[in-house]
Structure 1
Amino acid sequence: MEFTEAYKQTGPCCFSPDARFLAVACDYRLVVRDVVTLKVVQLFSCVDKINFLEWAPDSEYILCGLYKRPMVQAWSLSQPDWTCKIDEGSAGIAYARWSPDSRHILTTSEFQLRLTVWSLVNTACVHVQWPKHAARGVSFTKDGKFAAICTRRDCKDCINLLSCHSWEIMGVFAVDTLDLAGVEWSPDDSAIVAWDSLLEYKVLIYSPDGRCLFKYSAYESGLGVKTVGWSPCGQFLAVGSYDQSVRILNHLTWKTFAEFTHAASIRSPYNAAVFKEVDDPFQLDMSELCLSEGLSRNMRDNGTENGSEGGSRVKYAVMDVPITVPAQKPASDKPNPKQGIGMLSWSSDSHYFFTRNDNMPTVLWIWDICRLELAAVLVQKDPIRAAAWDPTCPRLVLCTESPHLYMWTPSGACCVNIPLPDFRIVDLKWNSAGSCLLLKDRDSFCCAAIVSALPEEEPDEQTDETSEDE
């Protein structure tokens, strides 16, 4: 892998949808860089510190959320003199997002009093009363024609369907939930999934005209759904629960056809490769070198002080089953227990998906949906902070707030040492072309590119070899 030098950032960073530019927040300044050269393309000054960034789908405009004001500013990449400010006054702004046509901005006020659609073309605005959530509860169809918005009034949950052309309400239907937690269109726009809060396990599939196609509840008298994710192909719906299991529903009958559990003990008949992160101290044989006494003493002193940082290297060791992975017991006297499937994401080809069970924060599970089995387990030394699939192939990268980047493909896994001093990865993102990887530290960022070709997948067996890159 090749890495750039580190650059300053103080907030959100995100790639443009066309993969050409990188927007970076530095206090009140918005810096737009070219992805290839990282040269500054545009520099914009906001009126306050930037809390949120989002590119318009056409990569022409950038939205900046200044929630302390509260205010939203938008900028044009091709017209630097053009600017837009949105201020809701005393209602405030809790969240903002782009519409699919890149010409409207949707803002949600504080206390979810209303959702407002602002036009950048004719300055018109449309209000939707009583949105259920600020950041969640809004989903657009893939063709960008319709929006589903969760609302709640008179203690009843509803889904409002809006046309993204005229922003008129096309229909409203009630949802059979106690406390609607989220809504998501299917990738083929043929169905809408809605799920209840953690207090009741309930997943509901609706048609766009409001007919309930299926109700699913795996169990009662326990904390329910925690994560929901459609496969990119639209054939599978993964539901992660607080009972540490993932259930897969098919799009034809909406029945469950697979259930994957996350047991602390991995044993046969699992054929998955278990990769465990272990230390690999860098050792240099200097027995035959003749050094002066002062230089030798200086190297010994520096090695004692900095050996743990500069000489620290890690690698993956392939473990034999049975093996017990680290697990934590969640606190029973605190709300929102750290238990259950808190992280779930599908690969771009819908062949694999990964999960993280929150009471096993150092373990990442990778599942093969075609074979309906566990493909691999990555056991890290530190809790997993973020993981992301390459948008072009089944390549997975993850970070643990350490100076290392971890990578998995169907051919194996490897650890990559970051060649930057005091750089610990807390978050990472791919650009849409899969050509560049953004790595974030607490107050800086760098970009990485994979120069070697992706190893071809073995058809019948998975290699047990591990590798390490500088």
Structure 2
Amino acid sequence: MIQVVQLFSCLDKISYIQWALDSEYILCGLYKRPTIQVWSLTQPEWTCKIDEGPAGIAHARWSPDSRHILTTSDFQLRLTVWSLVNTACVHVRWPKYPVKGVSFTQDGKFAAVCTRRDCKDYINLLSCDTWEIMGVFAVDTLDLADIEWSPDDSAIVVWDSFLEYKVLIYTPDGRCLLKYQAYESGLGVKTVSWSPCGQFLAIGSYDQMLRVLNRLTWKVFAEFTHLPNVRGSSNAVIFKEEDEELQFDISGLCLSDDPRESNFGMCA
């Protein structure tokens, strides 16, 4: 039976919520105010409020240690790291995106943040212990789309916008290991993903092709075509997913006057 464990009242309409990775805290983004409220599941009396003031808030997220919150201001003027431990904050100027362009290592020790200034894309490496900038290097992109650390934290993949097909692999110290272009004309990269073992890199493109690179040689290991029309044997089984509107019947729910005692079981 589902029960209400805690009930928290926010100052305004909630635009976004996110659990901390340790499941002890809940982040509530009140972007219109603009304010972030943080609640503790184990200590209901503990509260935290982050007010960005005129800068506004476009997005907020947890750091891997669940003790810091990263907020991006409106118009990407700055990215701010807020500490829940000592109330300190660190600013990174000119983040490129409010949501994309931030990637953490698997061990949670470092963060890569994309910034853009003077019509040039950069990657800033930050230590998640002190949040100091450990290094900054420029990347060879026309309009950087996103980045992602490799599963072993030894490399960062960077890909350009759909206007230019370009995938780049950099080491954390800024050395370029690979510059891959499948073709020059036409729309470029749509999505990129590392395999869980880090041995392969999958690249989905707007030409309806999936290319898999082998990390040992950085050569194309396999290519797969995703066609709009499936042509196969007559006995092939084809599944089609259709969107249907979900319908819920709440007429049988029992709710107590006290929200803390509410349960969502069916009425007898």
TM-score of the two chains, using structure 2 as the length reference: 0.89
Aligned partners of 1:377 and 1:191: how far apart in 2? 39
What is the Cα deviation at residue 140 of structure 1? 0.3
| CA shift digits 1:109-139 (9 cap, x unpaired) | 0000000011111111100000010000000
What is the Cα deviation at residue 247 of structure 1? 1.1
What residue in structure 1 maps to residue 244 of structure 2? 401
What residue in structure 1 maps to residue 67 of structure 2? 103
Aligned partners of 2:238 and 2:92: how far apart in 1? 45
What is the Cα deviation at residue 72 of structure 1? 0.8
Q: Equivalent residues in 2 for 1:301-340 (5 A)?
A: 320-321=235-236
The reply to whether residue 197 of structure 1 matches residue 40 of structure 2 is no
What residue in structure 2 maps to residue 379 of structure 1? 240
What is the Cα deviation at residue 266 of structure 1? 2.7
Counterpart residue identity of residue 126, structure 2: L
1:121 is matched with which residue: 74, 78, 85? 85
The reply to whether residue 55 of structure 1 matches residue 19 of structure 2 is yes
Counterpart residue identity of residue 320, structure 1: N
Q: Normalized per residue, which structure has more strand? A: 1
What is the Cα deviation at residue 402 of structure 1? 4.5
What is the Cα deviation at residue 267 of structure 1? 3.1
Distance 1:143 1:107, change over 3 A: same
Worse overlay, 221-230 or 117-126: 221-230
Distance 1:211 1:168, change over 3 A: same
What residue in structure 2 maps to residue 464 of structure 1? none
What residue in structure 1 maps to residue 257 of structure 2? none
Aligned partners of 2:173 and 2:167: how far apart in 1? 18
- Equivalent residue of 1:40, what SS? coil
Aligned partners of 1:200 and 1:47: how far apart in 2? 44
The reply to whether residue 184 of structure 1 matches residue 148 of structure 2 is yes
Aligned partners of 1:60 and 1:190: how far apart in 2? 30
Q: Which ranges of structure 1 fall in alignment gaps of 5 or more residues?
A: 1-36, 271-318, 322-375, 383-399, 404-417, 423-445, 447-470
Q: Equivalent residues in 2 for 1:39-438 (5 A)?
A: 39-268=3-232, 320-321=235-236, 378-380=239-241, 382=242, 400-402=243-245, 421=249
Aligned partners of 2:139 and 2:98: how far apart in 1? 19
| CA shift digits 1:177-230 (9 cap, x unpaired) | 011110100111111001101110111111111111101111112111111112
What is the Cα deviation at residue 265 of structure 1? 3.4
What is the Cα deviation at residue 54 of structure 1? 1.0
| CA shift digits 1:359-380 (9 cap, x unpaired) | xxxxxxxxxxxxxxxxx85323
Aligned partners of 1:377 and 1:47: how far apart in 2? 50
Aligned partners of 2:180 and 2:244: how far apart in 1? 37
Aligned partners of 2:215 and 2:40: how far apart in 1? 40
Distance 1:58 1:221, change over 3 A: same
Distance 1:149 1:377, change over 3 A: farther
Counterpart residue identity of residue 146, structure 1: F
Larger Rg: 1
What residue in structure 2 maps to residue 391 of structure 1? none
| CA shift digits 1:63-83 (9 cap, x unpaired) | 111111111111101000111
Aligned partners of 2:35 and 2:216: how far apart in 1? 44
Q: How many residues align structurally?
A: 251
Counterpart residue identity of residue 379, structure 1: K
- Equivalent residue of 1:247, what SS? strand
Counterpart residue identity of residue 100, structure 1: P
Aligned partners of 1:163 and 1:216: how far apart in 2? 29
- Equivalent residue of 2:239, what SS? strand
Among the aligned pairs, what percent are the same residue?
75
Distance 1:124 1:377, change over 3 A: farther
- Structure 1 consecutive aligned stretches of length 4 or more whose deviation exceeds 3 Å: none
- Equivalent residue of 1:199, what SS? coil
| CA shift digits 1:204-261 (9 cap, x unpaired) | 1111111111011111121111111122222221111111111111221222111111
- Equivalent residue of 2:5, what SS? strand
